[in-house]
Amino acid sequence: MSTGSPVGSHRVVSPAGALPQAADRLDPDPRIADDEVRIRVERLNLDAASYRQLHTAHGGDGDAIRADVRDIIERRGKMHNPVTGSGGMLIGTVDAVGPRSPLGLKVGQKVATLVSLTLTPLHIDDRLEQWDGRSEQVPTSGHAILFARSIAAVLPDDLPEHLALAVLDVCGAPALVRRVVARRADPATVAVIGAAGKSGSLSLAAARDAGAATVVAVVRDEIEDARLRWAHLADDIVIADATDPLRLARKVDKALDGRGADVTVVCVDVPGCEHGAILSTATGGTIIFFSMATSFSAAALGAEGLAADVEMLIGNGYVPGHAEYALDLIRGNAHLKDLFIDRVGEES
Ligand code: NAP
């Protein structure tokens, strides 16, 4: 192959003119262009919203989930869940580097891709037989292609691979939380919804690190409450269903002495949390919708309908320095690290 498009448009099979993320189908041909990199894939990390949707749709049947994921990859040439629109990321070993690739990767390096699987050409050659369909992490073998404008991080050697993979999957959240909290004139009050999850717990740590005045964690039940209490990542923890807007807002308000949060971070993996987040946020505050289950129309029309003067940000998975920042938070906080390990399990 000759030099490709830096954004990968030469890999789009259909529809013509689309960029890879919006494409229905990509071409995962293993022959690389001069500016591409080929990765030998070892493990996929499915996006939490995507995995939950698949789990719900198949009633938790691992074989059916596996067959569905295999079908999506084979049909689309990428892991792009057509229902949630989300993907995940992967780890593997650099297998070939085109002479014009600007990514600075070397053959043999172990890397995590930091661009979504929804735009990464992917071919699997083991029919996902190493995976039981019961977890977000998918051991597999195959190859993936990175474009000139993709990003990847060399895996650290001081953390287990599956842990690093889970951290890097959500590393955009803490970096964005740090930026938003740090730019406020006064120390902010922060509410993190879905706080015991991966992006949620990292967001709590980032809010503290950025100088938040008060950090409130919203969790689903007593089990998550106990887990988080033990980790000491928040000033207060409230138990609330994020899809129940009035109750959620009442509880956040109570924890913040009658004011909404200056910054609200939505880290749940289910739909229907937009209105609760809006009602939980103070006038002039900011909401970060990191969740892939967020509906733009529900958020925009909900805020308008509530006459809520809030800024709403879509959680961009890319913030410069995001990978190192998230890994450093994990390295620097044993409780946070234990919480993560508890969630992703020991290395399999
Ligand atoms: P996670 O680890 O599964 O955490 C989600 C948390 O939300 C869990 O603790 C879950 O509790 C909780 N939750 C679910 N339903 C709830 C409800 N009704 N009320 C209160 N809490 C509830 O997920 P994650 O990996 O952090 O991902 C979180 C979100 O970020 C997902 O939507 C994912 O797709 C998205 N994401 C976005 C980007 C981006 O670039 N913007 C990148 C990666 C991921 P249980 O465990 O008890 O269900």
Ligand 1 mutation target, pool 51, 137, 151, 268, most atoms within 8 A of CB: 268
User: In the chain, which residue ranges form alpha helices assigned H by DSSP?
Assistant: 48-57, 62-76, 161-169, 172-182, 198-209, 222-231, 245-255, 274-279, 296-305, 322-332, 334-344
Tokens of 250: 């009442």
In the chain, which segments carry CATH 3.40.50.720? 172-344
What are the pLDDT tens digits along the chain (348 aa)? 577 899 999 999 999 999 999 999 999 999 999 999 999 999 999 999 999 999 999 999 999 999 999 999 999 999 999 999 999 999 999 999 999 999 999 999 999 999 999 999 999 999 999 999 999 999 999 999 999 999 999 999 999 999 999 999 999 999 999 999 999 999 999 999 999 999 999 999 999 999 999 999 999 999 999 999 999 999 999 999 999 999 999 999 999 999 999 999 999 999 999 999 999 999 999 999 999 999 999 999 999 999 999 999 999 889 999 999 999 999 999 999 999 999 887 665
| C-alpha–C-alpha distance, residues 8 and 326, integer Å | 27
How is 205-267 classified by DSSP, letter by letter?
HHHHHTT-SEEEEEESSHHHHHHHHHHT--SEEEE--TT-HHHHHHHHHHHTTT--EEEEEE-
- Going by C-alpha positions, the residue among 274, 332, 331, 338 that lies closest to residue 306 is 274
pLDDT, residue 346, reads 67
Give the domain 172-344 fold: Rossmann fold (3.40.50)
284: CA distance to ligand 1 center in Å? 25
Residue list, ligand 1 pocket, CB within 6 Å: 47-49, 86, 169-170, 172, 194, 196-200, 220, 224, 241-243, 267-270, 290-293, 315, 317
261: CA distance to ligand 1 center in Å? 20
pLDDT, residue 347, reads 65
288: CA distance to ligand 1 center in Å? 13
Contact 344, 166 (CB under 8 A): yes
pLDDT, residue 348, reads 53
